[in-house]
Amino acid sequence: MENDLVKQLFIARENTINFVKDMEEATTELVPDRLNNSIKWNLGHIFVISEKFLFQLTGEDTKIPSNYSSFFNNGTRPVDWKLNPPSLDELINILSEQMNRVKLTLSGRMDEKVKELYSTSTGFELVYVREFVSFCLYHEGMHFGAMKNISKFI
């Protein structure tokens, strides 16, 4: 199961990156009417949440740049950004690098229990590393769908 989960996460991430890699920077920053976020926000949010679930909550060090939380945490929106967000290229690079760290750090640990049970806002209770990886698959897929929806509006 371990290889399947990690492989699926890699495929999901590859699809995410391939979807945006040829987009214009300005396109990724547009927020369509009636929506709160942009494609760029979704990319950064995927990264930040994956850092928390795949590294912080599994007892590993995170590599979240200091300004990313103010841009991409739950409840943030581009309309509230006071500074320029990271570039599309930076987000693509950091998302790719994150997958390399997953492979190096979490391989062989899928059946490991984390120190403390974690309940997500959607009601999932996570105890094992594999459950955190599985949740990140769900989360990335949800935001990939949001990015596809945004692209239809723009």
Q: Which domain holds residue 69?
A: 2-153
CB atoms within 10 A of CB 95: 20
Residue 68 has φ and ψ, to the nearest 5°, of -65, -35
By CB atoms closer than 10 A (0-12, 13-18, 19+), residue 2 is: middle
Rounded distance between C-alpha atoms, residue 77 and residue 80, angstroms: 6
Task: Quote the pTM value.
Answer: 0.95
Rounded distance between C-alpha atoms, residue 89 and residue 131, angstroms: 30
Instruction: Give, for all 154 residues of the chain, the pLDDT tens digit.
Output: 457 899 999 999 999 999 999 999 999 999 999 999 999 999 999 999 999 999 999 999 999 999 999 999 999 999 999 999 999 999 999 999 999 999 999 989 999 999 999 999 888 899 999 999 999 999 999 999 999 999 999 9
**Which runs of consecutive H residues, i.e. helices, occur in 32-128?**
39-54, 68-72, 88-106
Structural domain total, the chain = 1
CATH of the domain at 136: 1.20.120.450
